[in-house]
Amino acid sequence: MLRAIPNTVMHLCFEAILLLAVIGLKPAAATPKCPPQSELLAKAEVVVQARVKSLSMGESGLLAADPNVPTRMIRIDLEITRVIKGKYPRKEATVYGAAFPPGPFMELAKMALITGLGGDDTFEWELSRNELGSGLEFYSMNNCSYYKFRDDLFPR
C-alpha cells in the first residue's frame, strides 16, 4: 500500500507535465512561420465575423496507413454574424483541424467558453478551403489563415 502512493503521485505529475507540454506546443523550428496577419488578410478570399457554437475533439475516422499518424481532429461549428470580405451565403460553417500548430486552438477554446455570455463574443476568421478531391472540400484551421480575436481576451 505504501508503494502505491508514490506511484500515484508520480503518475499524476507525469500527466500534468505531459498536459503542459501539449498546451505549450509551438511550430517546429523547421516549420516556416506564417506571414503577418495583415498579409494574410490581404490574401484571404473569404473572411467572416463569427462566434463558436460548439467545439469538439475526437477520433476523425480517417484510416491512416502509418499507425504513428494522429487521427484525432478538432471540429468547430461557427455561427456567421456577417461577411467581412468576399462572399459566403450561409449562416453557419464547420471548420476542421488538428490540435497542433499552426492554428489558434487555445483562442477558439476560450471563445467557445464565452459564447452566449453576452457582450462581444465574436471574432474574425478566414474560411480557408482545402480540396480533398473533385467536388469535395472542407474548411481548415491548420493553414496559415487570417484570424483576429478580442484584444481584451488575448493581450499580446
Residue 9: what pLDDT?
A: 59
Residue 25: what pLDDT?
A: 47
CA–CA gap between residue 123 and residue 126 (Å, rounded): 10
User: What are the DSSP E strand ranges found in 60-91?
Assistant: 72-85
pLDDT band for 31, please (50, 70, 90 cuts).
Answer: low
62-80 residue pLDDT tens: 888 888 877 888 999 999 9
User: What are the DSSP E strand ranges found in 5-118?
Assistant: 47-59, 72-85, 92-97
- For cell 500534468, what's the residue? 16
